[in-house]
Structure 1
Amino acid sequence: MKTDQLIIGKILNTHGIKGTIKVQPITSDINRFKSLNYIILDDLKIEISNRRISNNLVYLDLKGYDDINKVLPFKGKYIYILEDDRINLKEGEYFQYQVIGLKCYDTKNNFLGTVISILENPVHDILEIEDETKAVHYVPFIDNFIVSVDLENGIILNPIEGMF
């Protein structure tokens, strides 16, 4: 992945014999695929000829890839878009790639761990944080626990007793 590209999904499998790919979206808004005109795959910008969304998965037909044998090598690969084409976020919203890797501290500036993943939950996202001993802790990404997010300096948390 180049620095000007963003992951938006992972190809899970093919679908049918006509080259359709089944994609697990990696985005907070699956509907963004409805207006997407291209994807980047293996450094190739490929036009989308058709798309549909079903059961939280995206099915894409790619121009020039109309046979299952042409898309089988894509299975398991990530798809990207150019950063210039990303959606605009409201203040206080972040892309997952911006939060993953951030260091987390408590309100007394004690290091708690590093965000290794974000779990999407119907109610709210959950930060998966790995501490120095490699133990994993889960923190709801809500105002009750998140004091501040600074993309340069990390996240300040207000954890409850027993969370870490």
Structure 2
Amino acid sequence: MINKIQVGKIINTHGLKGELKVLPLTDDPQRFNNLNKMYIDNKEYIIEKVWYKKGFPIITIQNFNDINDVLIFKNKYIYITQEDMIELEEDTYFIFQIKGLNVVTVDGIEIGTIKDVLTPGANDVYVVKGKDKEYLIPAVKEFVKEIDLEEKKMVIMPIEGLLE
């Protein structure tokens, strides 16, 4: 899935006319309104219609108009290309851009690599795999001083106890 970004998971069918119920894997579930195409199992599909029920996008794929035609998509992930990504505000990033960054302190001490991003609530938390242990770094400006995607580096200012 090179150069494709996961934006949703098909969790069920909806009705008998081939509609798909999607669990959004994005901060903005309305972002499906602006998509014309999507990828499932690396195959392109044209989106015919999107509407919402109880916060879940309901998607109709072109030429799929029967429940029996879309059962194969259940539990599959929806991907988009980078050209279909939404524009983010300054100093905000997609999770796929953060994963894999090397984490160093402002003093140049290497901490490890970001292996996951947790989204528990008020702010994200970076899971950093160090040599001997994992660290949880809150994704707030107080700790994260710089993110350089070209250098694949995040610079943090740890407070006492953060890296223990």
Q: Same fold (TM over 0.5)?
A: yes
Name the TM-score, length of structure 2 as normaliser: 0.84
CA, structure 1 residues 59+149, in 2 after alignment: closer, same or farther (shift >3 Å)?
A: same
Query: What is the CA-CA distance between 1:155 and the residue it aligns to?
Result: 0.6
Task: State the match for 2:78 in structure 1.
Answer: 79
Q: Distance in 1 between matches of 2:126 and 2:102?
A: 12
Task: State the match for 2:89 in structure 1.
Answer: 90
Q: Distance in 1 between matches of 2:54 and 2:120?
A: 15
CA, structure 1 residues 54+75, in 2 after alignment: closer, same or farther (shift >3 Å)?
A: same
Q: Distance in 1 between matches of 2:53 and 2:108?
A: 44
Query: What is the CA-CA distance between 1:142 and the residue it aligns to?
Result: 1.0
Task: State the match for 2:21 in structure 1.
Answer: 22
Task: State the match for 2:2 in structure 1.
Answer: 2
| Contact residue 100 and residue 152 of structure 2 kept, 8 A | no
Aligned sequence identity (%): 34
What are structure 1's unaligned runs of at least 5 residues?
none
Report Cα offsets for 1:85-143 as digits up to 9, x if no partner. Answer: 2112232121211111111112222222221222224422222222223x433222110
Q: Distance in 2 between matches of 1:2 and 1:89?
A: 21
Q: Distance in 2 between matches of 1:65 and 1:7?
A: 22
What are structure 2's unaligned runs of at least 5 residues?
none
RMSD of Structure 2 on Structure 1 (CA)? 2.1
Q: Which amino acid aligns with 1:2?
A: I
Task: State the match for 1:34 in structure 2.
Answer: 33
Q: Which amino acid aligns with 1:142?
A: V
CA, structure 1 residues 56+35, in 2 after alignment: closer, same or farther (shift >3 Å)?
A: same
